[in-house]
Copies of this chain bind each other. A is one copy, B any other.
Amino acid sequence: MATKRYLMTPGPTPVPPQVLAALAEPIIHHRAPEFRPVYEQCLEQLRTVARTESDVLLFGSSGTGAFESAVANLVTPGERHLVVSAGNFGERWAQMTAAYGADVDHLRYAWGEIPEPEDVGARLRESGGAKALWIVHSETSTGVVSDIEALAAVGKEAGALVVVDAVSSLGAVPCETDEWGLDAVVSGSQKALMTPPGLGLVAVSPAALAATGSSPRFYFDWERTRKAQAKLDAPFTPPISLVAGLNVALGLLLGEGLEAVFDRHVRLGRAAREGAKAMGLELFSPDDDRSAVVTAVRVPDGIDGKEIVRTLRDRFGITIAGGQGELMGKIVRIGHIGWFDVFDITTTLAALELTLAELGADVERGVAVSRALAAFEHATA
Cβ-based interface call for A21 (8 A) = yes
Query: Are B99 and A196 in contact, CB atoms less than 8 angstroms apart?
Result: no
Which B residues are CB-close (under 8 A) to A14? 26-27
Q: For the complex, what is the distance from the CA of A343 to the CA of B12, rounded to whole Å?
A: 40
Which B residues are CB-close (under 8 A) to A26? 5, 7, 14-15, 20
Cβ-based interface call for A177 (8 A) = no
Query: Are B236 and A239 in contact, CB atoms less than 8 angstroms apart?
Result: no
Listed by A's residue number, 7 A-B pairs whose Cβ atoms lie within 8 Å are A20-B25, A23-B23, A23-B24, A59-B61, A64-B218, A65-B236, A197-B239
Which B residues are CB-close (under 8 A) to A219? 61-62, 64-65, 68, 220
Question: Provided the pairs A12-B29, A12-B30, A71-B218 are in contact, do residues A23 and B62 lie with their beta carbons within 8 angstroms?
Answer: no
Query: Are A238 and B23 in contact, CB atoms less than 8 angstroms apart?
Result: no
Question: Provided the pairs A61-B65, A65-B60 are in contact, do residues A241 and B29 lie with their beta carbons within 8 angstroms?
Answer: no
Query: Are B25 and A5 in contact, CB atoms less than 8 angstroms apart?
Result: no
State which residues 1-35 of A face B: CB under 8 Å.
Answer: 5, 7, 9, 11-15, 20-21, 23-30, 32-33
| Copies of the chain in the assembly | 2
Q: For the complex, what is the distance from the CA of A125 to the CA of B24, rounded to whole Å?
A: 52
Cβ-based interface call for A112 (8 A) = no
Cβ-based interface call for A272 (8 A) = no
Query: Are A29 and B9 in contact, CB atoms less than 8 angstroms apart?
Result: yes
Interface residues on A, range: 35 or more
Residues of A within 8 A of B (CB): 5, 7, 9, 11-15, 20-21, 23-30, 32-33, 59-65, 68, 71-72, 95-96, 99-101, 188, 190, 196-198, 215-220, 235-242, 313, 319
Question: Provided the pairs A99-B216, A218-B68 are in contact, do residues A237 and B12 lie with their beta carbons within 8 angstroms?
Answer: yes
Question: Provided the pairs A24-B24, A26-B7 are in contact, do residues A188 and B242 lie with their beta carbons within 8 angstroms?
Answer: no
- What is the distance, in angstroms, from A198's C-beta to the closest C-beta of chain B? 3
Q: For the complex, what is the distance from the CA of A100 to the CA of B63, rounded to whole Å?
A: 23
Question: Provided the pairs A26-B15, A29-B319, A319-B29 are in contact, do residues A237 and B60 lie with their beta carbons within 8 angstroms?
Answer: no
Question: Provided the pairs A27-B12, A28-B5 are in contact, do residues A99 and B60 lie with their beta carbons within 8 angstroms?
Answer: no
Query: Are A218 and B29 in contact, CB atoms less than 8 angstroms apart?
Result: no
Q: For the complex, what is the distance from the CA of A33 to the CA of B319, rounded to whole Å?
A: 11
